Amino acid sequence: MGRLYIVPTPVGNLDDMTFRAVEVLRSVDAIFAEDTRTSAVLLKKYDIHTHMESHHKFNEHKNASSIRDRILSGENVALISDAGTPGISDPGFFLVRECAAAGIEVQTLPGATAFVPALVDSGFPTDRFAFEGFLPVKKGRQTKFAELAQEGRTMIFYESPYRLVKTLAQMCEVFGGERRGSVSREISKLHEETRRGTLSELAAYFGQVPPKGEIVLIVEGKDYVGKGGQEE
């Protein structure tokens, strides 16, 4: 029986790749990638020539069982996404579940995840937080906002630059414009930026300066509002 490796890849700067991740990707029998064209750039940089196949949100249900069977037959397989840790708002959950149920050893390497540096940069409490990933685009969006209005922990969201202003405006309506937030974009890249302020200030700023790149939005929890950054 082989083994499944979950291998994080850099969220921006390709130099953030770990030595162990490179070693694993060189040694396995196959690499399954969210986008083989994107991952080809990374593999070329680190002189990795392992056979690569696609595993993305449109084929992950169908692929999971066949990959599981290949591992059961003795292959060692690595799963990577375009950026960050597979399974965190990226394909990976179904494959890990299939392999775990079959008794296959799953090794998840520590490594890059976009929300961790954004959370730390925000200045909000990091001891308790709720990772929400991407909000529903249409159906269930308002219901989700209503649920989160009472969330006491720091909240973490992934957002598209094209929806950020709309999301901030909706949060102002539901959470209140004085609730504070932090927007981190292009983490570890050349134009990395973190902007902090109230939700109304952030909505106004990005309404005037359209955001670009990958975005992580951090919003303070209800239990922290009004403390002015001071723990009680």
Question: Is 218 among the domain residues?
Answer: yes
Report the residue count for the chain: 232
**What is the model's pLDDT at position 232?**
42
Residues 104 and 205 in one domain: no
122-164 pLDDT, tens digit each: 999 999 999 999 999 888 899 999 999 999 999 999 999 999 9
Mean pLDDT, residues 77-102: 95
Domain tally for the chain? 2
CA 64 to CA 94: how far, in whole Å? 6
Range of the domain at 141: 115-224
Residue 224: closest CA among 96, 126, 146, 136? 126
Residue 230: pLDDT over 70: no
Q: Are 83 and 10 in contact (CB under 8 A)?
A: yes
Select from 49, 76, 108 the last residue of a domain.
Answer: 108
| Domain end among 62, 92, 108 | 108
Q: Is the pLDDT of residue 112 over 50?
A: yes
How do residues 52-79 score in pLDDT, each as one tens digit? 999 998 888 889 999 999 999 999 999 9
pLDDT grade for 228, boundaries at 50, 70 and 90:
low
Mean pLDDT within 189-197? 93
